[in-house]
Amino acid sequence: MKMSRWLLVDDDATFLQVLRQALQYRQVACDLAETPQQALQLVQSQAYARIVVDLNIDGESGLNLLKAILESRPESKVLILTGYASVATAVEAIHIGAVNYLCKPASVDEIIQAFEWPEPEEGSTASENKQTEEDEEFQPMSVKRLEWEHIQKVLMEHGGNISATAQALNMHRRTLQRKLQKRPVEK
């Protein structure tokens, strides 16, 4: 991997330090930002080859930061990293312009590979670049995974408000909080 400068944006200072050390070991120089404001200042003063953005930065949406980064530096490749993954936010992040979306905990190798995801060749169609569903054996999502996805969708619809989401789901607030603390279940 050639030498490049990355920006890491997360409100967890320990996580930032660990990730920076792991990337520096792989010859990647990194700058750190713990708030969206710090990130935007850095992005406006310097171009970054790759930017890793947490989905929830100190109570603010990383998707808003993603939009601002791409408006300022459309050539930057931005990866969304989150502990609260959902299909709805993944789709929105990719729609806005993120190159990929990963769930925490993700290894440094997974993060690097997420940036190297093959881009479609010019002039080819999406169906030519993806395996067809017939090539893979279809496995429906488990009920627990479906529940997780539904909770995330309703949470997003209510702007991350736990109380409003619990009320919309006809669920006790503490029950919802327990469900949100669990890692997303696999398919």
User: What range does the domain containing 152 cover?
Assistant: 143-181
pLDDT at residue 128 greater than cutoff 80: no
pTM reported for the whole predicted model: 0.63
- Report the alpha-carbon angle 74-17-10, nearest 5: 45
Q: Assess if residue 47 is contained within a domain.
A: yes
Across the chain, mean pLDDT equals 80
Measure the CA–CA gap between 51 and 53, rounded to whole angstroms.
6
Confidence at residue 155, expressed as pLDDT on a 0 to 100 scale: 82
Mapped onto helix, strand or coil, the DSSP state of residue 10 is coil
Confidence at residue 185, expressed as pLDDT on a 0 to 100 scale: 57
Measure the CA–CA gap between 67 and 69, rounded to whole angstroms.
6
Confidence at residue 125, expressed as pLDDT on a 0 to 100 scale: 40
Measure the CA–CA gap between 98 and 11, rounded to whole angstroms.
19
Same domain, 19 and 98: yes
Indicate the number of domains in the chain. 2
Of residues 121 and 57, the one with the higher pLDDT is: 57
Q: What is the CATH number of the domain that holds 162?
A: 1.10.10.60
